[in-house]
């Protein structure tokens, strides 16, 4: 089987945002989602000979690709970027100079039918990023109650027919096990009466179950906080999200670090004693029309960039 490839979205923009220049070329950087290594390889091109890059990925296939890289400055960790704190502690690393997160699902994962991510390809209903551990979508749907299934589809898929879909799933599994992506897509299609033109009715349900099975949003919140905790002064965070749930978490996290609650103006406090924001927001970027025409997956991507500061730099409001 030929190697499945992945076209990294906002490749140059996300890596440029890390500002790897000057003394920072020999810094320590994290790629929280290796994928097929597009961002990691570009980071390595910019690093000096004493620089270091640690990449993470839960997907065994991605790890297999990463292990073929022979650059001594590079290391791959099989696991979630949410575990970065323990990984850094094991290597006695206290500060990092930048972290890049390319969230969501990669093209090779979608295009490999046996992974069970796509409603367009019939395959086993798995959906795990790490197929070597955890509970598959098939196993979860076989035992979960109707109320919880509806809650997951509504919360993580923002699907207004969540209750109807959950009811149809529970009814269908009493007749025969739901083993394949095709079965699930057909079940959802029976329950969803109206949907966006040009969009498969199963889109939101598949997204929701995938996010829940892999704890994607919980791990994002943990990874942002732990990554920030170890970010050096002037260190950068570069985060690419692909749907509103992810972007909302990133936006709120950045906004929380970039703003402070000011004391009562009537209190006798010197300007030097006023609380200062920890973060400066450096803006957001979306893919160009040219990139979207080349890679349809890029159409919903948003890159948000921030840096650690200890004094107000102005312009620190989330947009």
Residue ranges at the known binding site? 37-39, 57, 81, 102, 109
Specify whether the CB–CB gap between 55 and 29 falls below 8 A: no
Angle CA 71–72–73, to nearest 5:
90
Nearest one of 180, 172, 169, 171 to 138, comparing CA atoms: 180
CA distance 280 to 231: 13
Can you say which residues are annotated as belonging to the binding site for S-adenosyl-L-methionine?
37-39, 57, 81, 102, 109
The CA–CA distances, whole Å, from 300 to 10, 46, 100, 241 equal 11, 27, 18, 8
CA quadruple 244, 79, 34, 131: dihedral, nearest 10: -80
CA distance 132 to 128: 9
């Amino acid at each position: 089987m030929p190697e499945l490839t992945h076209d990294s979205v906002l490749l140059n923009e996300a890596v440029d945002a890390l500002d790897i220049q000057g003394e920072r070329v020999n810094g320590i950087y994290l790629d929280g989602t290796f994928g097929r290594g597009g961002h990691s390889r570009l980071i390595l091109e910019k690093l000096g000979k004493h620089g270091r890059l640690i990449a993470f990925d839960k997907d065994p296939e991605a790890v297999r690709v990463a292990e073929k890289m022979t650059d001594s400055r590079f290391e791959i960790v099989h696991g979630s970027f949410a575990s970065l704190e323990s990984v850094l502690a094991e290597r006695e690393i206290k500060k990092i100079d930048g972290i890049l997160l390319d969230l969501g699902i990669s093209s090779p994962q979608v295009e490999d039918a046996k992974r069970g991510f796509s409603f367009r390809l019939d395959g086993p209903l798995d959906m795990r990023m790490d197929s070597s551990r955890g509970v598959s979508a098939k196993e979860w749907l076989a035992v979960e109650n109707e109320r919880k299934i509806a809650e997951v589809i509504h919360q993580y898929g923002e699907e207004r027919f969540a209750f109807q879909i959950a009811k149809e799933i529970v009814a269908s599994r009493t007749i025969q096990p739901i083993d394949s992506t095709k079965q699930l897509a057909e079940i959802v299609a029976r329950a969803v009466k109206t949907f966006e033109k040009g969009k498969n009715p199963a889109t939101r349900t598949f997204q929701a179950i995938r996010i829940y099975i892999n704890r994607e949003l919980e791990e994002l919140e943990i990874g942002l906080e732990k990554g920030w905790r170890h970010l050096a002064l002037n260190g950068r965070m570069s985060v690419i999200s692909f749907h509103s749930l992810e972007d909302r978490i990133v936006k709120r996290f950045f906004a929380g670090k970039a703003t402070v609650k000011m004391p009562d103006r009537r209190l006798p406090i010197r300007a030097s004693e006023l609380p200062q924001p920890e973060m400066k927001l450096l803006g957001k970027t979306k893919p160009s029309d040219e990139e979207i025409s080349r890679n349809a997956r890029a159409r919903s991507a948003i890159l948000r960039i921030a840096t650690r500061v200890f004094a107000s730099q102005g312009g620190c409001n989330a947009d």
